[in-house]
């Protein structure tokens, strides 16, 4: 299997929200969950913070009153692919829309000290890399954002964050990070075992032919 070369490294300016316990309702409010589509949620990301007015499904950011003080509305952070935050990011309800909104905005990696469990797993299903670092490492990164625009490079194969002369290693299970590198969804994972599935079905027909008599 060949990797996606663009998926081996995530680099760019780091956007940041210095707050604990950002829940899925803050990432994307409930009023936008009515859509049956899996894409097109970028304008609703952090809706309560990005805008000064109330939005609704189908209304784009060009029709809204922008909060120019919110970090993701400020250049160059409005094009960020990497989000830095703190503890328990993505807690709350299990809505997968929260990850869809981050993905559609263009965010490919979220760095935090911990994540909501369901949100964490949903990230890998949608090509967003959640990176857990120690709180002291998170503190250090936030201090760097106070001094200047922070740019980093994330090497997915080495599981390293590179900034200036510093390297920060992170841990993630290989089977999870491979989902990001190879852009695999649940169906892709299943199809990797298609030969085993076919062999199992073939053998079962031999052992229990009566199951298939009416097929």
Q: Cβ atoms within 10 A of the Cβ of 102, count?
A: 26
pTM: 0.87
d(CA 73, CA 170): 29
pLDDT tens per residue, the chain (215 residues)?
444 445 699 999 999 999 999 999 999 999 999 888 889 999 999 999 999 999 999 999 999 999 999 999 999 999 999 999 999 999 999 899 999 999 999 999 999 999 999 999 999 999 999 999 999 999 999 999 999 999 999 999 999 999 988 999 999 999 999 999 988 877 777 767 778 877 887 787 788 887 777 65
Q: Where are the domains of the chain?
A: 5-184, 185-215
What pLDDT, on a 0 to 100 scale, did the predictor assign at position 4? 45
Identify the three-state secondary structure at position 200: helix
Superfamily for domain range 5-184: Aconitase, domain 4 (3.20.19.10)
DSSP labels for 128-163? -EEEE--HHHHHHHHHHHHHS--EEEEETTTTEEEE
Q: Tokens 């503890």 label which residue?
A: 87
d(CA 177, CA 127): 9
Cα separation, 87 vs 85, in Å, equals: 7
Tell me what pLDDT residue 157 has.
95
């Amino acid at each position: 299997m060949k990797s996606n070369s663009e998926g081996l490294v995530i680099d760019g300016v780091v956007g940041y929200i210095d707050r604990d316990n950002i829940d899925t309702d803050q990432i994307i409010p409930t009023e936008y969950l009515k859509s049956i589509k899996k894409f097109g949620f970028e304008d609703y990301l952090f809706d309560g913070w990005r805008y000064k007015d109330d939005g609704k499904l189908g209304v784009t950011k060009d029709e809204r009153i922008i909060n120019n003080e919110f970090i993701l509305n400020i250049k160059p952070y409005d094009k960020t692919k990497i989000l830095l935050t703190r503890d328990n990011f993505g807690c709350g309800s299990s809505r997968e829309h929260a990850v869809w909104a981050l993905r559609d905005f263009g965010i490919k990696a979220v760095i935090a000290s911990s994540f909501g469990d369901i949100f964490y797993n949903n990230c890998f299903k949608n090509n967003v890399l959640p990176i857990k670092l120690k709180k002291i490492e998170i503190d250090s990164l936030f201090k760097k954002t106070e001094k200047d625009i922070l740019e980093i490079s994330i090497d997915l194969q080495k599981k390293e964050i590179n900034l200036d002369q510093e390297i920060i290693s992170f841990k993630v299970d290989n089977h999870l990070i491979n989902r990001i590198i190879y852009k695999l969804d649940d169906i892709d994972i299943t199809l990797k075992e298609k030969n085993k599935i076919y062999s199992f079905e073939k053998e079962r027909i031999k052992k229990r032919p009566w199951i298939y008599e009416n097929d």
